[in-house]
Structure 1
């Protein structure tokens, strides 16, 4: 296994440089193209919000960076949309202070984690016996994607998942970075856990997205099994690594399965009513 610094650099070079198209959330879906604003890439989607990807801010003076941030806030205020701007240790150290001065609010840190796909697929935790009434299977039809959408709504209330079925359909058939969707399903056909992934062609990486389990089914090894199943799919297709962004709730499980934290991201959110 490469060092965490080497893994982070490889991911940035091979996948991160693709911008929003490599994502598996609403910002990776089809829609209006991203805009280049100076040294940042910005994308907004109607009714959802937007995100800024910063490439290199080191050459900007403090005043220039403040002006760039203010421009993004003005755009959000004009259209009434929220904006996310992530910071990590590789970006300039004064960015968080300047974001907060402009009205951005820090959120819980997110761990960028990477593991060897074959090792994750073979990890002991992924092979634990599942409940007898549960099976894992890939899904490919619109109605099945809508069932995943309903699961996400149930487990993550307050978030709009209207975009998800369309995005999964698009990603499943694109020639760039295709998708696979896997569910844990009960004997009655109820989707009780689900996750999807993007296969980043011409790279060593596949990325894991989603990952939700009904509260009544938690603690039964479903999340671990879905991670392992998707890692096996990646390895079968010749991808060396799996990558994901993990909240504190899933980080310990992923670490036990062999994924290492290569970077900590702190998301900063701006919405017009917070400024």
Structure 2
């Protein structure tokens, strides 16, 4: 890595920690409770979420107590069915992995924290013949998009996914839903999340049907969202990316500044 690349990475990571690890991280939350450095967040449909801006100089015994108390907060609420504890590789958190395992959290696949200039992504990308991009707002379109999103990520197609998107649209908080389609069939989807009061917009939920991958559609959908972000005054794009999307974003000029690993707890049936 060159000196310029190293400085750019450090600048992006600093902006990420300062601007995004706040309320900006949890749009659509029902409730946010502060517990020391922790943010204990409740979302619709029985979802809990734990995050923090930093853990400071928290030593292992204190960190273990925080895990125990954060876990108890959610596990004693019968409405909560699953909880995600979001960790970042660049945090200093001695004993966190072991403490999470002790309280029933299991690590999921790590993802890359990607950041880049919106102008680098907002380029013209040729699409396969007949494929078009558009922003969707109508309920029928949102439900069709959500079904593709669930199925592509290997999840059951749930009405609740679309309900959550529709609730967010009703808030008019800037979230945008985008699709690529051919002959009325949705082949790829993605979400744009402008972060109020920051330089950032997030690109999330990128999912392309397997038979349509490798044909430039995801990159084109990313470019469309980047252009929309620039129109809203956002200069930086961020995303937590799987190994499917990371190489595409890197080719577009985004860089990996760190990684994030979600630890998941699910309530077992009585």
TM-score category (smaller protein):
0.7 to 0.9
Alpha-carbon spacing, 1:155–1:77, altered in 2? closer, same or farther (3 Å): same
What residue is the counterpart of 1:249 in the other structure? 244
For residues 32 and 24 of structure 2, the distance between their equivalents in structure 1, rounded to whole angstroms, comes to 9
Question: Cα offset for 1:251?
Answer: 0.8
Q: How far does the alpha carbon of each residue in 1:45-65 deviate from its partner, in whole angstroms, 9 at most, with x for none?
A: 354421111234345453332
Alpha-carbon spacing, 1:203–1:141, altered in 2? closer, same or farther (3 Å): same
Q: TM-score, normalised by structure 2?
A: 0.86
Question: Cα offset for 1:134?
Answer: 1.0
Alpha-carbon spacing, 1:67–1:83, altered in 2? closer, same or farther (3 Å): same
**3-state SS of the aligned residue for 2:15?**
helix
Considering only aligned residues, what root-mean-square deviation do their CA atoms show, in Å?
A: 2.4
**1:28-47 matches, cutoff 5 A:** 28-29=27-28, 32-45=30-43, 47=45
For residues 118 and 93 of structure 1, the distance between their equivalents in structure 2, rounded to whole angstroms, comes to 38
Report the more deviating stretch, 259-268 or 48-57. 48-57
Q: How far does the alpha carbon of each residue in 1:100-155 deviate from its partner, in whole angstroms, 9 at most, with x for none?
A: 23332222211110111111112xxx51x212121111111111101111112221
For residues 54 and 102 of structure 1, the distance between their equivalents in structure 2, rounded to whole angstroms, comes to 18
Structure 1 segments unaligned to the other structure (5+ residues) = 22-27
8 Å contact 1:145–1:164 — kept in the other structure? Answer: no
Does structure 1 residue 185 correspond to structure 2 residue 190?
Answer: no
Q: How far does the alpha carbon of each residue in 1:195-217 deviate from its partner, in whole angstroms, 9 at most, with x for none?
A: 11111233211100111112222
For residues 119 and 189 of structure 2, the distance between their equivalents in structure 1, rounded to whole angstroms, comes to 21
Q: How far does the alpha carbon of each residue in 1:18-41 deviate from its partner, in whole angstroms, 9 at most, with x for none?
A: 2543xxxxxx335x3111223211
8 Å contact 1:87–1:96 — kept in the other structure? Answer: no
Structure 2 segments unaligned to the other structure (5+ residues) = none
Q: TM-score, normalised by structure 1?
A: 0.85
